[in-house]
A and B are shown apart, each in its own frame.
Chain A
Amino acid sequence: MAKITYKHPSGTVTIVDVEAPNTVMRGAKLNGVEGIEAQCGGSAQCGTCHVYVDEANELPLPEMDSVEDDVLYGTACERTEHSRLSCQLPVTEAIDGLVVHLPEAQS
């Protein structure tokens, strides 16, 4: 289980507990956190589960693979060095306390 914080562009902050095995994307879906679409269901196809990992993050996230890197070229909001696909971020105890910022739009 890990506590994940989703920060919305409106300033709203949602903090939820997400069980493993899940992803940061699925954690939002399971808990009714809007702002993450994941139209492809989490298969790294669509880029509609885009999040910005908090700049101050020091928690260990998996390296981005080339598919995720490529998919991030197509996000609706600008890609930054903090951009990730939340479907590619597995929830483990090691990322307890992760903070992600949601973009203005996903599609």
Chain B
Amino acid sequence: MGPRGVVVIGAGQGGLDTAAALRGRGYRGRLTLVGDEPVLPYQRPPLSKGFLTGDTAAGDLELRPRAFFAAQDVEVVSGTRAAKIDRERRTVLLETGTTLPYDSLVLATGARPRTLPVPGAVSLSGVLTLRGLADAEDLRKRLTGPPRRLVVIGAGFIGLELAATARKLGHEVTVVEAQSRALARALTPTMSSRLVARHAEAGVRILLSREVTALWGSAAGRVEVVELDGAERIPADLVVVGIGVLPNTELATLAELQVGDGIVVDAQLRTDDPDIYALGDCARFPSPHAGRHVRLESVQNASDQAKVVAAGICGDRVPYTAVPWFWSEQYDMRLQIAGLTAGHDETVLAGDPEGGRFSVFCFRDGRLTGVESVNRPADHGIARRLLASGTELTADDVRRPGFDLKTLARRPQERLTHA
């Protein structure tokens, strides 16, 4: 441990968990957490769900109370951006002019929503994105009150969760997606068609393979119309753009660290400067589960990577190998994903899709790579354990009549031996 301490840039899930894990490991050096939002670290997942309906209050979003930071001697610098990293001097310059020295620096800078590259998207009011608490507070105000016509651009997780929430609140919802199916990058075709069917059943109009060409507004500059290819015009009181995010890599680029759709790190999550780590949404890391470098946007990834970074800073160089997992809640569907399903060459459906409880097991070259589940949390949890331990499960195992992952959970090695 050096005298200069650790500076963490980014006070989201990954930044906070790094600070907590460092103290949990007994790190006693100076520890500073710098965040550009004016609030303490909070949970983002409820922002598209319970926070908008009022089921989750702002106070419940806080990951840790203020007293935690005082008790753990973590200095939180809120509402402040980092301007520049001086790698030679090992300092970070904040935009306030303050200079923070570091022995280790952690970049947990997250990501920001992509903007829609069409006329009107930036200039009109009533066109929003949903990423942070301020966005969600704005959206909540606009979704409180009489039914409005909401157009969601992008059928990703944020867009679909928002669509489900807005329907629950009684609004008229249209989702426009440029790809031929929802969540094309994240989900199997089986799962995306189930999701889309559920949205249709709930009264959401989902338009696939449609491009937004322009947004039109009133004389006062308020959005009124979403124009699609083929000149179809959809009336809108409110437009939310959810077409993915861009990793916040500017600081790293400025510091001449290796960057390419994310800050590039090694298996221990170190950048090409061994004193600088990157994690969470902004980091591109080698995944043993993908067999290549990936960048993942999830609480799990940020949280588990934080532990590896804290270990590395304390001299315990362990690789990041956690099994990725993700969840989404839409209507009565608890969707959970264990592992990485992209690149699968075979899928097997188990359970009861009509009854709303099923899992899609994904295989590549005969090996289980991931499982998508709806309302089958045991499948999800057991799949995570199987993937973590490398226990073999074949497509034929899943196809066998009476297959139930729960029966394999107790003694996986014994039960899964192919005699």
Contact of B303 with A74 in the complex, beta carbons under 8 Å? no
Q: A46-B300, A107-B322 are in contact. Are A73 and B45 (CB under 8 A)?
A: no
Cβ of B210 within 8 Å of any chain A Cβ, yes or no, is: no
**Size bracket, chain A contacts:** 20 to 34
Contact of A30 with B68 in the complex, beta carbons under 8 Å? yes
Complex: A47 Cα to B338 Cα, angstroms: 13
Cβ of A70 within 8 Å of any chain B Cβ, yes or no, is: yes
Contact of B329 with A43 in the complex, beta carbons under 8 Å? yes
Contact of B382 with A74 in the complex, beta carbons under 8 Å? yes
Contact of B45 with A40 in the complex, beta carbons under 8 Å? yes
Q: Is chain B's interface secondary structure helix, strand, loop, or mixed overall? A: helix
Contact of B322 with A39 in the complex, beta carbons under 8 Å? no
Contact of B381 with A73 in the complex, beta carbons under 8 Å? yes
**A 88-105 to B, binary, CB cutoff 8 A, 1 in contact else 0:** 000000000000000000
Q: Which of B24, B300, B406 has the most chain A CB atoms closer than 10 A to its own CB?
A: B300
Complex: A37 Cα to B24 Cα, angstroms: 12
Q: Pick the contact of A46: B322, B325, B329, B385 (CB < 8 A).
A: B325
Complex: A73 Cα to B406 Cα, angstroms: 7
Contact of A74 with B68 in the complex, beta carbons under 8 Å? no
Complex: A107 Cα to B304 Cα, angstroms: 8
Contact of A45 with B68 in the complex, beta carbons under 8 Å? no
Cβ of B65 within 8 Å of any chain A Cβ, yes or no, is: yes
Contact of A75 with B65 in the complex, beta carbons under 8 Å? no
Contact of A70 with B381 in the complex, beta carbons under 8 Å? yes
Q: A45-B377, A70-B381, A107-B322 are in contact. Are A39 and B68 (CB under 8 A)?
A: no
Residues in B whose Cβ lies below 8 Å from that of A73:
377-378, 381-382, 405-406, 409
Cβ of B101 within 8 Å of any chain A Cβ, yes or no, is: no
Q: Which of A34, A45, A46, A74 has the most chain B CB atoms closer than 10 A to its own CB?
A: A74
Contact of B378 with A74 in the complex, beta carbons under 8 Å? yes
Q: Pick the contact of B43: A41, A45, A46 (CB < 8 A).
A: A41
**B 320-332 to A, binary, CB cutoff 8 A, 1 in contact else 0:** 0010010101000
Q: Is chain A's interface secondary structure helix, strand, loop, or mixed overall? A: loop
Contact of A40 with B409 in the complex, beta carbons under 8 Å? no
Cβ of B393 within 8 Å of any chain A Cβ, yes or no, is: no
Q: Please give me the residue from chain A that is nearest to B304 by CB atom.
A: A107
Contact of B20 with A34 in the complex, beta carbons under 8 Å? yes
Complex: A72 Cα to B381 Cα, angstroms: 8
Complex: A44 Cα to B46 Cα, angstroms: 14
Q: Please give me the residue from chain A that is nearest to B65 by CB atom.
A: A30
Q: Please give me the residue from chain B that is nearest to A69 by CB atom.
A: B378
Q: A39-B300, A40-B327 are in contact. Are A45 and B385 (CB under 8 A)?
A: no
Residues in A whose Cβ lies below 8 Å from that of B303:
37, 39, 107
Contact of B71 with A70 in the complex, beta carbons under 8 Å? no
**B 333-355 to A, binary, CB cutoff 8 A, 1 in contact else 0:** 01010000000000000000000
Complex: A32 Cα to B64 Cα, angstroms: 8
> Top 6 closest A-B pairs, CB basis?
A74-B381, A70-B378, A70-B377, A73-B378, A34-B24, A45-B327
Would you mind naming 18 contact pairs between A and B with Cβ atoms under 8 Å apart?
Answer: A30-B64, A30-B68, A32-B64, A32-B68, A39-B299, A39-B300, A44-B377, A46-B327, A67-B334, A70-B381, A73-B377, A73-B406, A74-B377, A74-B378, A74-B383, A74-B384, A75-B381, A76-B385
Q: Which residues of B contact A (CB under 8 A)?
A: 20, 24, 43, 45-46, 63-65, 67-68, 71-72, 299-300, 303-304, 322, 325, 327, 329, 334, 336, 376-378, 380-385, 405-406, 409
